Amino acid sequence: MNEALNLSGSKRILQFIEQNPFWLAPMAGVNDACFRGICKRMGAGITYTEMISAIGLHYNFETDATRRLLAISDNESPVAAQLFGSDAEVIATQAYEVAQFLGEDLAFIDINMGCPVTKVVRRGEGSALMMDLDTASRIVKKTVTILKAQGLEGSDIPVTVKFRRGYSEGDDRSVEFACAMEGAGASALAVHGRYQDQFYSGVSDRQTITRVKDAVGIPVIGSGDVFSAQDALSMISPKSKGGVGADAVMIARGAQGDPWIFTQAQALHHGELPLTPSYEDIFAVMQEHATCIERSFGPKALVRMRKHAMWYCAGLPGASYFRGKINQVTTMNDLESLISEYKSFLAKTVTEISEETAQE
């Protein structure tokens, strides 16, 4: 481990972990400021921006679209910014620009080396970097160097790396890659237990995370198949108690439509009984989310909010009918009317069930 490069950064990461080890993972097309703000209020520790193209920032930093990607909610600071790319100079330069733009609202810079999406991988970005240790190491070293002089509350701005088990199924490169990233100056590592060519199929191998944790001296954040508060707690529980032993946990798909997963994980972590949100709670947050999305995205709000509405209603009575109707609406006003209609339907359904139970 290169102590001179990543010691102070790792200490800062550990401070975040001590405050709250349940983090919202970066998700493209999902993690806008509206969603992150809700998750933060529900108990998320660090929240990440969407995965942002460094080359896109290079050419379009001053555009409204870019500013939306870097916008943060009122209660969210500090936030982690995740960049992706394959050009060390461009990533390092844009990391500096992001640090300047966010100032004290920036927790750290995360570099994505785990995205499995084909169009990203074809450009030598995301998971493809696991096949190119030299380029991956150069990206981290360059970014650490350019940020080192930009102090944040007395510490260097940490640089972290998110990656997968490996590129091709059966070719596990996680420990080798982790050690190389630590040596290049990364202050923490986020590990997902699938290979690139698995995308999100199959089961994430949590032992990959344990092996990486045993091999490095910097914090490790576990990622993959965290769909419940118990899954989250298991990720940070010690190996001696049957857990993975990660320092913190990233929650991704498990938070889609269920930001209460952070509240529940916090409760379990403190030995308390986690509460399940009522349908009134779910619809109140859904309405809040829709209002924020409309304010932030204007004409593009409906496309952005439609998937969130579907996620929120998953598992509720009549959800399949509601989801079908969502695909037919053409305006945000129509969507909000549909949400109100569905809420009234659920209220009636709950009342009828209660009356039947009382009669029994």
Active-site residue list:
115
Angle of the 279-297 helix axis to the 332-359 helix axis, nearest 10: 180
Are 225 and 218 in contact, with CB atoms under 8 Å apart?
no
How is residue 242 written in tokens? 């049957």
CA distance 49 to 61: 15
| Torsion from C-alpha of 84, 90, 96, 97, nearest 10 degrees | -90
Strand order of the β-sheet with 159-166 is: 22-24, 248-251, 220-223, 188-195, 159-166, 106-113, 79-84, 48-53
Phi, psi at 180, each rounded to 5°: -65, -40
CA distance 228 to 277: 14
CA distance 79 to 301: 23
Residues making up the chain, counted from first to last: 360
250: helix, strand or coil: strand
Phi, psi at 251, each rounded to 5°: -110, 120
CA distance 335 to 128: 39
